[in-house]
């Protein structure tokens, strides 16, 4: 029997990816949605999570697609109601919130899937295999996109806890921490804040692995024309490039795999959530979030031109 799922926060990612993935899922049935302004045809709709939980008690699980500033409160309510919870990235607004949610899930015997959709991109597994069987000499992340195109009207990204350019940038860090054999730390960071906003529009990070290998990362929300979601890894015996956010894999200059991007990630994400729910296990890895938090902690701050949302 399919798990009955309630979706919270019907915005861009819920409509673009979650609902289509759920429609085709062999594991889940979307039975209810909670969103202040939006409705989804064919399911029970509520304007808040509490009403959804009260009026659809048969829900097995809740998937949260609201902005990160609201994740903690929503996930806590759902876990306290005994539901399994899947959280969109970034998982929360503060590091402590993630730890408390993990504790709550363990106490309730519920699953907390603190998801990183980019880790389910088609070529991430192959990149991990490649990286772990070579001696790395360097790595580079270039994650540059046009915020007006990809995040139209999303004021929450620019508010405290909205992450700015790290909203997409954390996806690159989720892949990096998944594929590298060694842990990484932030060594230096420069964050560029528009003078009228509370979150960075661009950032440059120098990370370093435990083995001493430098990883340079550039994140920019002001990219026009070609967009870049690329990670390059260099080793003593060749190089690898993950592009299109992990969908395309190039090894030593030859494209060896190409897939459909985000649309391929979400069915795999929900499949993982289903297996975690059945096993009553949680998956919580907040290393990408720690790297972003550390960039905010030690980053130099530059003020740049104002940005209109």
Q: Is 13 in the site for ligand NAP (CB under 6 A)?
A: yes
88 versus 230: smaller Cβ distance to ligand NAP: 88
Q: Is 18 in the site for ligand NAP (CB under 6 A)?
A: no
Q: Is 11 in the site for ligand NAP (CB under 6 A)?
A: yes
The token duo for 77 is: 């309510």
| Nearest CA-CA partner of 89 in 13, 190, 142, 199 | 13
Dihedral sign (CA 283, 228, 231, 140): negative
Site for ligand NAP in 169-208 (CB under 6 A): none
For 51-101, give the DSSP string.
HHHHH-TT--EEEE-S-GGGHHHHHHHHHHTT-EEEEPSS--SSHHHHHHH
**Residues in the chain, how many?**
309
Q: Is 149 in the site for ligand NAP (CB under 6 A)?
A: no
Q: Tell me how far, at minimum, the Cβ of 90 lies from ligand NAP, in Å.
A: 6
Candidates 8-16, 93-101, 236-244, 273-281: pick the segment binding ligand NAP (CB under 6 A).
8-16
Phi-psi region of 11 (alpha: psi -120 to 50; beta: other; left: phi over 0): beta
Q: Tell me how far, at minimum, the Cβ of 41 lies from ligand NAP, in Å.
A: 15
In the annotation, is 89 catalytic? yes
Near ligand NAP by CB under 6 A: residue from 6, 22, 60, 68: 68
The token duo for 141 is: 């992340």
3-state secondary structure of 272: helix
Q: Is 119 in the site for ligand NAP (CB under 6 A)?
A: no
Q: Is 113 in the site for ligand NAP (CB under 6 A)?
A: no
What number of chain residues touch ligand NAP (CB under 6 A)? 23
**Of residues 2, 12, 89, 144, which has the active-site annotation?**
89
Near ligand NAP by CB under 6 A: residue from 2, 4, 12, 234: 12
Near ligand NAP by CB under 6 A: residue from 154, 235, 271, 290: 154
Candidates 7-15, 54-62, 136-144, 275-283: pick the segment binding ligand NAP (CB under 6 A).
7-15
- State which residue has the least CB distance to ligand NAP: 11
Near ligand NAP by CB under 6 A: residue from 66, 197, 209, 223: 66
φ/ψ (deg, to 5) at 62? -130, 135
DSSP H or E stretch at residue 22: helix 19-24
Q: How far apart are CA 212 and CA 180, in angstroms?
A: 13
Q: Is 49 in the site for ligand NAP (CB under 6 A)?
A: no
Long-range interactions of 239-243: CB distance < 8 A, separation 24+: 240/127, 240/130, 240/131, 242/121, 242/123, 242/124, 242/127, 242/175
Q: Tell me how far, at minimum, the Cβ of 11 lies from ligand NAP, in Å.
A: 2
3-state secondary structure of 137: strand
Q: Is 286 in the site for ligand NAP (CB under 6 A)?
A: no
Q: How far apart are CA 132 and CA 144, in angstroms?
A: 27
Residues marked active site are found at 89
Return residues touching ligand NAP (CB under 6 A). Answer: 9-14, 35-38, 65-68, 70, 88-90, 117, 150, 154, 156, 167
């Amino acid at each position: 029997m399919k798990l009955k799922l309630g979706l919270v926060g019907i915005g861009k990612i819920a409509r673009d990816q979650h609902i289509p993935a759920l429609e085709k899922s062999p594991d889940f049935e979307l039975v209810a949605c909670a969103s202040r302004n939006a409705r989804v045809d064919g399911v029970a709709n509520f304007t808040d999570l509490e009403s959804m939980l009260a009026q659809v008690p048969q829900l097995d699980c809740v998937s949260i697609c609201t902005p990160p500033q609201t994740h903690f409160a929503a996930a806590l309510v759902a876990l306290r109601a005994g539901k399994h919870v899947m959280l969109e990235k970034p998982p929360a607004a503060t590091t402590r919130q993630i730890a408390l949610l993990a504790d709550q899930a363990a106490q309730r015997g519920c699953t907390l899937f603190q998801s990183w959709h980019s880790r389910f991109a088609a070529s991430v597994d192959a990149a991990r295999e490649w990286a772990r069987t070579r001696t790395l000499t360097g790595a580079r992340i270039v994650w540059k996109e046009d915020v007006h195109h990809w995040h139209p009207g999303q004021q929450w990204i620019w508010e405290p806890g909205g992450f700015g350019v790290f909203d997409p940038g954390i996806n690159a860090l989720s892949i990096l921490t998944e594929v590298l054999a060694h842990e990484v730390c932030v060594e230096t960071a420069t964050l560029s804040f528009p003078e009228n906003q509370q979150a960075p529009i661009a950032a440059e990070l120098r990370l370093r692995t435990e083995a001493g290998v430098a990883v340079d990362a550039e994140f920019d929300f002001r990219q026009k024309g070609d967009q870049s979601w690329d990670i390059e890894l260099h080793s003593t015996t060749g190089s690898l490039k993950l592009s299109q956010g992990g969908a395309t894999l190039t090894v030593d200059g030859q494209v060896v795999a190409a897939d459909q991007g985000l649309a391929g990630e979400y069915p795999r994400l929900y499949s993982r959530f289903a297996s975690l729910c059945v096993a009553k296990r949680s998956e919580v890895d907040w290393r990408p979030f720690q790297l972003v938090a550390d960039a905010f902690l030690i980053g130099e701050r530059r003020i740049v031109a104002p940005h209109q949302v």
